[in-house]
Structure 1
């Protein structure tokens, strides 16, 4: 379970997140929606302690992220896919991470095959395409077989086949009882994937509802989203 309570963050004069409160439960895919600059990335960064909130708190399974003894085994995170060293191979990047988290080395080839990078395992990351880099970021998130996944725009750079593959994978992981939190701008894919929605704008919560409740009598998720934003202005 992921819990955010009164999360608040300013960067200078900019109010990035403003008293944000929500709870995400296992067994469902929750989409995190909002326009550019809404505070989604800042919220995700606070959940995993990359940024400290000015007020409020975030908990994963009742604990702060920084208090987790082996965080990759509990929380899979994709915030910046290009975080890997460009001169290191995909397999060595994952082996190094596995070693730091007491993850069995045998998990590395498993997860590379899972994300479709088995044949590129020994290639240097600097030569990867955007889609391959994104798949490597997903491999990192899945490496510890975590019960919680936090993914910021995971469909970025994937071709149609890759998007369908990831949609199926995330759906299967949620059906296994995991908590899946996905930030995305792709409304059509969100409508196919998500069970629940957290919608924010200007750092404030606009909606915390099932997809069915949120769409209600609107023609589509996109229409409901735009109408919600218009009503918040």
Structure 2
């Protein structure tokens, strides 16, 4: 379980996250929605110990990420799939991550096969397409077989077959009892994938509810989202930031 407790983050005079509280529960795919600049990336970075909160905290399984031993075994994350050394092969990129968390080397082959990169495992990643880099990032998130997954725009760069694959993968992982937290701008995909939604705007909580309850009488998730988030600061003054 992920617990966000009264989380705030300021960068100088800019408030990125403002007193945010919500819980991400196991057994569900939880979608994380908000306009550009709403504070989603900052919230996810704080979950993973990459940013320190100004106030409040985020607990994963009752502990701060920084204090988790062998964190890849506890939390799998996809934030920036392209953060890969171009001179390394896909296999050696994952092997280095595995060794850093005492994950058996055989697991590297397993996740490469799972994401469909087994035939290109020996190739240097500088020659990878965007979709291949994305699959490698997903492989890294799955490497430690973690009970918690934090994924930012996981369908980015994937073709239709890949989108269907990651959708079914996330649903399957949640069905196993894992906690799956997914940020995306693709409302149509979230409507097909998520069961629960956390929606923020201007760093504050706008909704924490099931997809069905959030959509309500609206024609689509997109329409419901605009109804709830369309009046936030990110949409005023002529459009998204």
Query: Do the structures match in fold with TM over 0.5?
Result: yes
Question: For the residues of structure 2 that align with 1:127 and 1:7, how far apart are their CA atoms?
Answer: 40
Shift of 1:230: 2.7
Unpaired segments ≥5 residues, structure 1: none
The within-5 A match list for 1:29-108 is 29-108=29-108
Question: For the residues of structure 1 that align with 2:231 and 2:8, how far apart are their CA atoms?
Answer: 22
Tell me the number of residue pairs that the alignment of Structure 1 and Structure 2 aligns: 233
Shift of 1:229: 1.2
Please name the residue that 1:210 is paired with. 210
Please name the residue that 2:117 is paired with. 117
Question: For the residues of structure 1 that align with 2:86 and 2:57, how far apart are their CA atoms?
Answer: 34
SS for the counterpart of 2:49 is: coil
TM-score by length of 2: 0.95
Question: For the residues of structure 2 that align with 1:229 and 1:148, how far apart are their CA atoms?
Answer: 27
TM-score by length of 1: 0.99
Unpaired segments ≥5 residues, structure 2: 234-241
CA offsets per residue over residues 116-148 of structure 1, 9 Å max, x none?
Answer: 100010010111110000000000000000000
Question: For the residues of structure 1 that align with 2:53 and 2:40, how far apart are their CA atoms?
Answer: 14
SS for the counterpart of 1:43 is: helix
SS for the counterpart of 1:103 is: coil
Please name the residue that 2:27 is paired with. 27
* Native 8 Å contact 2:202 2:232 kept in 1: no
